[in-house]
Amino acid sequence: MPRRPLDPETLQLIDAVRDALADCAEVEEKTMFGCHVFMVNGKMCLGVENDELLVRLSPGSHAQVAEMAGVRPLSSKGLMDGYFRVGPSGYATREAWQYWIQGALAFNPLAKATPKRKKADGSATESGKLSPSTPPSKQEAADTSASPGKTGRRKTHPIFGSE
């Protein structure tokens, strides 16, 4: 059975995460756990499932973060401490969005990488690689081609409404 196409809201959130990770050197997109996941430096960092943002934070902060509004642990059985789903109310403002993105990126260098799977011949493989699900829009292409350097302006993303 073919996969169901992603909703426009999900694609918009994926695009927002992609924009947030634009300055990261090594970003790979995969599908894992039914989510669109962003691997940074070979480690799962952020993801999107429907309208929820999946974030990976320090397991030591699990209890504190789990109490925040709009947030729920990825696993209710405590098997994946540090992994959270953040609903739209939890990332609705630019400040809240930055909190989650910066928190996941800050923990990423400390996170443990998943070992590469071995092929039958014994060599390592990178399974599940995906290219971005949507090509850049004409506006994004114009934004990147207009100036090779950074302009210092923050890009307004539609997930923040009329900010």
How do residues 3-43 score in pLDDT, each as one tens digit?
678 889 999 999 999 999 999 989 999 998 788 999 999 99
Q: Which domain holds residue 6?
A: 1-111
Beta strands in 20-136 (DSSP E): 27-32, 35-40, 43-49, 52-56, 71-73, 83-86, 117-118, 124-125, 129-130
Check residue 79 and give its pLDDT: 74
Residue 106 lies in a domain: yes
Higher pLDDT, 155 or 117: 117
Instruction: Decide if 150 is inside a domain.
Output: no
103-140 tens-digit pLDDT: 999 999 999 887 776 766 665 554 444 434 333 343 44
155 is a domain residue: no
The overall average pLDDT reported for the chain is 79
Q: Is residue 11 part of a domain?
A: yes
Neighbours of 64 (CB within 10 A): 10
How many of the other CB atoms lie within 10 Å of CB of 89?
11
What is the pTM assigned to this prediction?
0.70
Q: Which residue type is seen at 106?
A: A
What pLDDT, on a 0 to 100 scale, did the predictor assign at position 147? Answer: 37
Domain count, the chain: 1
- Distance of alpha carbon 109 from alpha carbon 144, whole angstroms: 28
According to DSSP, residue 22 is labeled T
Q: Which of 55-59, 118-122, 140-144 has the lowest average pLDDT?
A: 140-144
The CATH code of the domain that includes 76 is 3.90.1150.30
Above pLDDT 70, what percent of the chain? 69
Residue of higher predicted confidence among 108 and 151: 108
Residue 30, in any domain of the structure: yes
Do the domain assignments include residue 129? no
Q: Which amino acid, residue 101? A: I
